[in-house]
Amino acid sequence: MQAKPFKREFAFPGLVAFVSTCDQEGVLNVAPYSNLMAVLRPTDLVCVALWHKRDTLKNIRANNQFVISVPPASMVDKVVPTAQGHPPEVSEFDIAGLTPRPSKVVTPPGVEGAVAWMECELVKQYVEKSHVLVLGRVVNLEFDRNCLDENGGLDPEKAQPLMMLQNNKGMRFVTVRDIGAFEPYGAMFFDGEDILAEHYED
């Protein structure tokens, strides 16, 4: 079936993450985003796409810091209240009934109850007419250990990260499931050796 090019988001299952910031007066802001990604392997960089008028972008520019919190599917009811355009002086933490989780390195808090938290510092902005790509460096990364598998990654059954699929009417919220398939990173190389393996040693 042919589709309009702007519907390209329909083809990408998106992770729903909360990006939290604070303004120079200390007012906390949190908003949900799906247009974000880790930049390659094994860098410490993340990229978030933001509209120009978002308080999130204004706060990142003011303080050079933000936190990405990865929520479980059980927090789906917090998405819409934090997505709405509240005035800058209003904290979405209060509106949505979210509890701030103190950060270790940066000033903005994460979201309590998430399964992972990335404390980030601004590295660079790629400014376009309609949007900005924010490149951040993760300066502190934490997981809820109760949601990890035996190899240090998120267990799909324990974590149940919140995701969404989009269609013509709106957002269908989903999560992941284990299909019983696994390959080591080394499988991508002809000699079976992962050239980046040393980076994963604790």
- pLDDT range class, residue 202, cuts 50, 70, 90: confident
pTM above 0.75, yes or no: yes
Share of the chain above pLDDT 90, in %: 98
- Asked if 103 and 20 touch (Cβ cutoff 8 Å), the reply is no
Spatial separation of the C-alpha atoms in residues 168 and 131, rounded to whole Å: 22
Helix, strand or coil, per DSSP, at residue 104: coil
- Report domain 17-162's class: mainly beta
Write down the mean pLDDT value for the chain: 96
Helix, strand or coil, per DSSP, at residue 153: coil
Q: What is the pLDDT of residues 135-183, one digit of tens each?
A: 999 999 999 999 999 999 999 999 999 999 999 999 999 999 999 999 9
Share of the chain above pLDDT 70, in %: 100
Q: What is the pLDDT of residues 4-40, one digit of tens each?
A: 999 999 999 999 999 999 999 999 999 999 999 999 9
Q: What is the pLDDT of residues 113-125, one digit of tens each?
A: 999 999 999 999 9
Segment (H or E) for 120: strand 116-127
pLDDT of residue 150: 96
